[in-house]
Each structure stands twice: as structure tokens, then as C-alpha cells.
Amino acid sequence: MSTPVSTPQPQGRRPVPSFVSPTVTVLSFLVLMATGTATGVLSGFGVSWFAREWPLGGLAQVKAVAGVLLLLVALYALTRLAGWGSRRQSGALGFSAGFALSLMGMIGYLPGGDIIFPDAIINYVFLFGSMVALALGVVRSAAPFQWPPAPTTGENGAGRIDAPADPPRSVGD
């Protein structure tokens, strides 16, 4: 016969009110949304410099594609970081929503023409690639981030399946 082991309760701590967790979630969503908006505006103006150099030829185009790909990898990492930092998928979603909304505002047509994103293929690579990077970042942030990765059940870390352990025996057996 065994007795359950109880965990000691910390002394001197008051319980956290029930409204704190949802409030922190909403506030972190709003802060990350503002951060995503600022990141979207800054990266949108940054990519417009690549489009400015696009007509210069092959080497400038290769540099622009490499720069946009690096920017997309950084965007994916920032989205995952937002989800990891908030410990919820809503953090990554807030960052992504702010980023996407800022880009949607920047691609609007102005009376004098499209100033921020001129008609260059590198801008389309950035716009569509950023949406893919944001979507992947939000979806991947649903899984808990652990480092180092925990081994899956039944593996000992070296890739071998361990033999099942004998079930515990009671004293009378």
C-alpha cells in the first residue's frame, strides 16, 4: 500500500486573482500587435530599397533576393519568438496581425501612384513570402518551445527503444 505524495504549498503567497491571466494575455497581444505593426512598416520601407535597385541588373537582383530571404527568415524567427515569449499562440498571432495590417495599409493605391511598393517582382516575393513566414510562425508556435528537445516517449535519447520496465509490485506479491 502506498500513500500519495503531496507537494508542499508555498507559505506566505496569496492566490492570484482569476482576472490576471486573461488581462495579461490581452495586454501582451496588444503590445505584440503594435510591435508587429512597427516591424512591418520598417521592413516595408527597407524592402522598397531593394526594389529601387532591381533594374540595375543581375548582381543587384541576386543581392535583393538574398536580402529578402534573410528578412523572411528573421520574420519567421520573430513570430516564433513572440509566441515563445508570451507562452501562447496569441502572442505570435498578435505580432502577425500587426505586421500584416501594416503591409495591407502600405500597398494601398495613392493618387500619385504606388510609392512604397513599386511594380517590381522583389516586392511580390516579399509580400507573399512574408505572409507565408507569418502563417508558418503562428502555426509552429502552437507547439510548446523546449530546448533542448525532450526525447519522445519510449526512446532513451540515443534513438533506441528501451525495453518496457516491469510494473511496480506491491509488498504482498
pLDDT above 90 coverage of the chain, percent: 10
Q: What is the DSSP string of 90-153?
A: HHHHHHHHHHHHHHHHHTSPPTT---SS-S-HHHHHHHHHHHHHHHHHHHHTTSPP-SSPPPPT
Burial status of residue 72 (CB atoms within 10 A of its CB: 0-12, 13-18, 19 or more): buried
The separation between CA 131 and the C-alpha centre of its own chain, rounded to angstroms, equals 12
The separation between CA 169 and the C-alpha centre of its own chain, rounded to angstroms, equals 47
Q: Which residue has the higher pLDDT, 16 or 64?
A: 64
How confident is the model over 16-41, as a mean pLDDT?
Answer: 79
98 pLDDT above the threshold of 90: yes
Lowest mean pLDDT among 1-15, 32-46, 81-95: 1-15
> Kindly report the CA angle at 51 between 81 and 128, in degrees rounded to 5?
45
50 CB contacts (<8 Å, ≥6 apart)? 63, 64, 67, 68, 120, 122, 126
The half-sphere exposure of 127 on its side-chain side, counting CA atoms within 13 A, is 19
The confidence score (pLDDT) of residue 80 equals 86
User: For the chain, what are the domain ranges?
Assistant: 24-140
Question: What is the band of 8 on the pLDDT scale with cuts at 50, 70, 90?
Answer: low
126 pLDDT above the threshold of 70: yes
How confident is the model over 65-93, as a mean pLDDT?
Answer: 86
Question: What is the band of 61 on the pLDDT scale with cuts at 50, 70, 90?
Answer: confident
Q: C-alpha grid cell for residue 56?
A: 540595375
CA-CA-CA-CA dihedral for 65, 44, 74, 56, to nearest 10: 20
How high does pLDDT run on average in the chain?
A: 76
Length, in residues, of the chain: 173
Q: Which residue has the higher pLDDT, 2 or 67?
A: 67
Question: What is the band of 141 on the pLDDT scale with cuts at 50, 70, 90?
Answer: confident
